[in-house]
Amino acid sequence: MFYKRLTAVPSDMLDIIEHDWRSAGNQFNVDFKIYSTYNDAILDLNAWTTCGGANDFDVDNHGFPGKCGPTSEVDGQYINMNLAAEGQADVAIYVQNATAPEELFSLPDWENELENYMTSNPDEAKKLGLCWNLPNRDSRRACWRACKNGEHSNNLGALKLCRNLKQKGQIWKSTEYAIASEVEEGEEHEKKIKLTHGLGNDEGLPNLGTY
């Protein structure tokens, strides 16, 4: 989600985002808009149309984005730094300063070089970890960056992000392998089981009737 500020940022902006999602100084379509992609935020396209949940004091540590949604209210997606049963405690917040020089937002050389190397040498890349299995380039880069920082420092946040993204890479790899195996070894025409399938050939089995 991309929160785009339209008016001056209040001094307690981080508190609003993390803990106190409210309308005072944070009014939807007056002080801010929300978008699903960075490009939409830059071009002011497809802004979210619904934003509820502000001033919901019944929820402890009720943060961004409240109950806001692209077209309707969405429950349970707000930041909850108190690790309660509801909300999201595993989050990352990034801030872009519109007055900062453009070069600050460019990817470092090592990330570009790593991406180019990995893309050109997939067999070698796969040996370097599960980050490679993530289908989205930005996710791969985030995974490599987090692992590089987390596994060689005391940055527990980076290490946690590294492990979480690696797990997602493992899930993606396993899912894609299962789909490919089913296509290769699954059912033939008229739902007959292929000879190469783990269940084997169904010819010669007793007819158990129709259920």
3-state class percentages of the chain: helix first, strand second, coil last, to nearest 5: 40, 10, 50
* Domain match, 145 and 170 both: yes
Which of the listed residues 71, 99, 127 is the one where a domain comes to its end?
A: 99
Distance CA 94, CA 81 (A): 16
The pLDDT of residue 187 is 54
The pLDDT of residue 80 is 81
Its pTM surpasses 0.95 = no
Which of the listed residues 36, 65, 99 is the one where a domain comes to its end?
A: 99
* Domain match, 70 and 90 both: yes
Are 61 and 80 spatial neighbours (Cβ–Cβ below 8 Å)? yes
Which of the listed residues 70, 99, 128 is the one where a domain comes to its end?
A: 99
pLDDT in tens, 71-111: 998 888 888 876 556 788 778 788 887 676 666 656 667 66
pLDDT in tens, 54-63: 877 655 568 8
* Domain match, 88 and 115 both: no
Q: Evaluate whether residue 32 is within a structural domain.
A: yes
Q: Evaluate whether residue 211 is within a structural domain.
A: no
- C-alpha distances in Å from residue 27, one per residue of 38, 52, 196, 210: 21, 11, 61, 62
Q: Which domain does 50 fall in, by range?
A: 1-99
* Domain match, 25 and 86 both: yes
pLDDT in tens, 175-209: 776 666 665 555 555 656 555 555 544 555 455 45
Kindly report the number of other CB atoms within 10 A of residue 172's CB atom: 16
* Domain match, 1 and 57 both: yes
* Domain match, 82 and 21 both: yes
The two structure tokens encoding residue 123: 């067999």
Q: Evaluate whether residue 206 is within a structural domain.
A: no
* Domain match, 14 and 34 both: yes
Q: Evaluate whether residue 65 is within a structural domain.
A: yes
